[in-house]
Structure 1
């Protein structure tokens, strides 16, 4: 597994080693021991989630608060998405900064997102199956979010706003300045 640091501390891009032949391919999508060795982080995932979406679907920017914060390892099983994470950790040198990465079924990249981040993604392909592992259980009362187009974050989502399909719930999320650091 190849692990690349990002400009945000404890946030990594992972790329598994892929073995291909005439039958297809195989790769190990996660190995806790290798991850710990390459990042210095110990994470234990307890919940796996998966979503199916069509082109233009934007989900996010979401997070969990308090004791229900979640670290995530995200990847695309089918299709292509623009994945975005925003640092909400109050004592972080990169508070309010974001990174983005294209994840697809062909590049097999994954993003490890530590606790204390908002996360979202935009589907760039006709459809996409998105998968994520979480180190804590989802709690409805602890969910939070930031509006995707907050000018202060300056996120380039790569598509025009009029091409987005966004839930009513995500369209009324607060601005970054109105969200308490985690």
Structure 2
């Protein structure tokens, strides 16, 4: 065995020992709170990937879309036939298009009622609150209401929150926080959003 191969073998032994220790220490079983935030692309896409994973195991999943509801959504179109998936949509579309705070607040609160129902349902394994961060930022929902629903959800239920500028109280209570960082975005260079890729 060459010196390089021997160094690699020792490095992999050390890595395996480290990973094995972390696996052995991870003994708690419960639902989690995940926050996908940041200015980069892929937060909603990552959430839908997890939805697909949960549905693949036959779990019940609820998705609440707070911003992009009127947009085409390839993931939703592909998965909406699954009897274990329920999707609730805030049907106003992008809030910067409506420019009507009263109507947007009313629409937000109506779809939030659906979210609260899902968050209280012990049969729902995963709930996604897609783009809810904007609802908090714009004041359509208050953080205390959202936190209360998250804290009182069934112990086995996992929740994914997506959107830019996640409220600091949400990130503080989350089990996992992933920040998508934008390095470059095609849209800023004049490329249209592409069907099947961006939505």
TM-score, scaled to structure 2: 0.26
* Greater C-alpha radius of gyration: 2
Greater relative contact order structure (CA < 8 Å, 6+ sep): 2
More helix by share: 2
